[in-house]
């Protein structure tokens, strides 16, 4: 009767061919020896109601005979219960791998599950790569509250509060996403470590900018827009007509920069007096009434595109080369700032619109809607009603801007309305006389 002992295994010599020494005291346990002297512990048995399995338990001398026999008993017991030890091991490894999911893997899953806009998604990826690349292969279970706190403080102290606040928002969402994951009923993580930032009351809110153009700045910008008559591309200041048209459209419509850039001519309805912005920040189509000033800017841009042979482009603001729309007008903004002496951002124009809408009596609710800040969507059946409700907001802003360039415009409007009631021949004569008066008055005002 063979009883495999430690002494016997230690004394085994390489055979001429692979041989197996089987133990009679523990049926199914054995030692496999190769001609190169490699000694492995094995266990063999039939799975209850199934196939036969031979499993390698470990190598000598790393594993002792006692440990090998103990492990063999466990495997044989599994087989008696009808369990396949190989499949059990695979399931355990798969579970351990699932529970060992890395921060990078969770981040990728989060992005795949969320319907983020391409620009937002790229912003998240850039922030993760910049500040959390060292965490990519780290199991998410191993990230502690202390890790989160130290990373937040490090980013704040080295890159500034805005970057730290952004990373906090991103990673709080990613770890919150992981909270919902389970593996065989076990939670992937049991708490969001980023809550420590909120619980310890770290400052994470960045003070919102409130910059907008003052009256004198608006007057200067509008004068620049109107007084540059020809707008040749070779003008010394380098501002193109498309560049200033884009700026003026944002200021009189309240559009975001990206919304203005993506505006297409097919979305402008001249007859019904509005245009539609698609793929907005809040995911809803935004219908904007055509005030006189918006219509003026769009007509001027249309004429500009015809003059430079770009009238076939589907975009209101096409790129100089290729078939896409203009993508980054920063250089134009910089040139306008340099030439006018007015320091502002594209978003300042949006705030300027809102400020002037309020100063002209628009309610906060209508201003929010004009800026497309509403959370609820509007059904197709109510779109026309919505446009009619918003039209006075855009008209009021346009009227306010108009006063900066033409102080007598309201008087002119009233005179024109009165003349319109007179006979045709008299109308023509009166209109011509009045136009000369207004032109002379405007010239004196502009000189002053």
Same domain, 86 and 116: no
Same domain assignment for residues 248 and 365: yes
Instruction: Report how far apart the first and last C-alpha atoms of the chain are (Å, whole number).
Output: 119
Which among 111, 101, 183, 92 is positioned nearest to 142, based on CA atoms?
101
| Sheet hosting strand 286-289, strand order edge to edge | 268-269, 274-277, 286-289
Please indicate, yes or no, if residue 435 is contained in any of the structural domains: no
On whether both 305 and 397 belong to a single domain, the answer is: yes
Residue 68, in any domain of the structure: yes
* Contact by Cβ (8 Å): 152, 167: yes
132 and 149 inside one domain: yes
CA dihedral 6, 8, 11, 12 (to 10 degrees): -110
235 with 384, same domain: the answer is yes
Q: Do 149 and 265 sit in the same domain of this protein?
A: no
- Write phi, then psi, for 308 (nearest 5 degrees): -105, 10
Q: Residue 135's domain is classified under what CATH number?
A: 1.10.150.130
Q: How many domains are there within the chain? A: 3
Which one of 81, 99, 117 terminates a domain? Answer: 99
Measure the CA–CA gap between 216 and 317, rounded to whole angstroms: 28
Tell me the two tokens of residue 182: 């389970």
Same domain, 79 and 219: no
CA distance 232 to 446: 22
Same domain, 52 and 107: no
Please tell me the predicted confidence (pLDDT) of residue 389: 83
At 147, list the tokens: 């890790």
* 138 shares a domain with 84: no
34, part of any domain: yes
**Cβ partners under 8 Å of residue 415, min gap 6:** 434
DSSP-assigned beta bridge partners for residue 139: 102
Q: How far, in Å, CA of 173 to CA of 161, rounded?
A: 18
Q: Is residue 219 part of a domain?
A: yes
Does 221 share its domain with 191?
no
The predicted pLDDT at position 86 comes to 83
Q: Residue 140 belongs to what domain range?
A: 103-199
User: Of 76, 99, 122, which one is at a domain's C-terminal end?
Assistant: 99
Q: Looking at the DSSP assignment, which residues form a beta bridge with residue 30?
A: 22, 42
Q: Residue 138: inside a domain, yes or no?
A: yes
pLDDT of residue 180: 85
In a domain, 448, yes or no: no
- Out of 75, 99, 123, a domain closes at 99
pLDDT in tens, the chain (448 residues): 789 999 999 999 999 999 999 998 999 999 999 999 999 999 999 988 888 889 899 999 999 999 999 999 999 998 989 888 888 787 777 777 777 789 999 999 999 999 888 888 999 999 999 999 999 999 998 999 999 999 999 999 999 888 999 999 999 999 999 988 877 677 888 899 999 999 998 887 766 666 888 888 888 888 888 766 555 554 667 888 899 999 999 999 999 999 999 999 999 999 999 999 998 887 788 999 999 899 989 999 999 999 999 989 999 999 988 889 998 899 999 999 988 889 999 999 999 998 888 888 888 888 888 888 754 444 344 445 578 888 888 888 888 887 766 554 444 455 455 545 555 555 455 555 555 554 454 444 334 3
169 and 305 co-located in one domain: no
57: domain CATH number?
3.30.160.390
389: domain CATH number is: 1.10.443.10
- Are 277 and 377 in the same domain? yes
């Amino acid at each position: 009767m063979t009883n495999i002992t430690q002494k016997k295994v230690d004394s085994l010599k390489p055979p001429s061919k692979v041989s197996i020494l089987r133990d009679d005291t523990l049926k199914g346990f054995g030692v496999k020896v190769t001609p190169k002297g490699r000694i492995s512990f094995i266990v063999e048995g039939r799975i209850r109601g199934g196939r036969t399995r031979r499993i390698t338990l470990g190598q000598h001398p790393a594993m002792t005979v006692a440990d090998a026999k103990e492990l063999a008993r466990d495997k044989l017991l599994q087989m008696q219960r009808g369990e396949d030890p190989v499949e059990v091991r695979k399931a355990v490894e798969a579970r351990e791998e699932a529970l060992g999911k890395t921060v990078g893997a969770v981040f990728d899953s989060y992005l795949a599950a969320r319907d983020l806009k391409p620009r937002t998604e790229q912003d998240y990826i850039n922030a993760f790569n910049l500040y959390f690349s060292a965490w990519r292969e780290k199991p998410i279970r191993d990230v502690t509250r202390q890790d989160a706190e130290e990373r937040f403080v490090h980013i704040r102290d080295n890159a500034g509060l805005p970057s730290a606040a952004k990373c906090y928002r991103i990673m709080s969402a990613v770890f919150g996403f992981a909270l919902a994951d389970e593996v065989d009923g076990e939670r992937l993580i049991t708490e969001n470590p980023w809550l420590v930032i909120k619980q310890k009351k770290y400052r994470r809110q960045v003070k919102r900018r409130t910059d907008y153009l003052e009256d004198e700045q608006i007057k200067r910008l509008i004068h620049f827009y109107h007084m540059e008559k020809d707008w040749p591309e070779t003008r010394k200041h380098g501002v193109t007509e498309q560049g200033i048209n884009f700026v003026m459209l944002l200021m009189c419509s309240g559009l975001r920069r990206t919304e203005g850039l993506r505006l297409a001519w097919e979305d402008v309805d001249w007859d019904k007096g509005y245009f539609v912005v698609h793929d907005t920040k809040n995911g809803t189509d935004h219908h904007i009434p055509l005030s006189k000033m918006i219509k003026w800017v769009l007509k001027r841009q249309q004429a500009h595109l015809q003059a430079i042979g770009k009238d076939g482009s589907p975009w209101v603001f096409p790129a100089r080369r290729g078939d896409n729309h203009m993508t980054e007008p920063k250089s134009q903004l910089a040139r306008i700032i340099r030439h006018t002496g007015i320091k502002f951002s594209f978003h300042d124009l949006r705030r300027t619109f809102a400020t002037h809408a309020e100063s002209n009596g628009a309610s906060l609710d209508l201003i929010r809607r004009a800026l497309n800040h509403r959370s609820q969507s509007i059904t197709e059946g109510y779109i026309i009603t919505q446009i009619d409700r918003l039209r006075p907001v855009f008209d009021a802003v346009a009227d306010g801007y108009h006063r900066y360039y033409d102080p007598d415009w309201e008087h002119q409007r009233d005179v024109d309305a009165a003349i319109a009631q007179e006979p045709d021949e008299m109308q023509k004569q009166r209109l011509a006389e009045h136009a000369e008066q207004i032109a002379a008055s405007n010239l004196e005002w502009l000189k002053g």
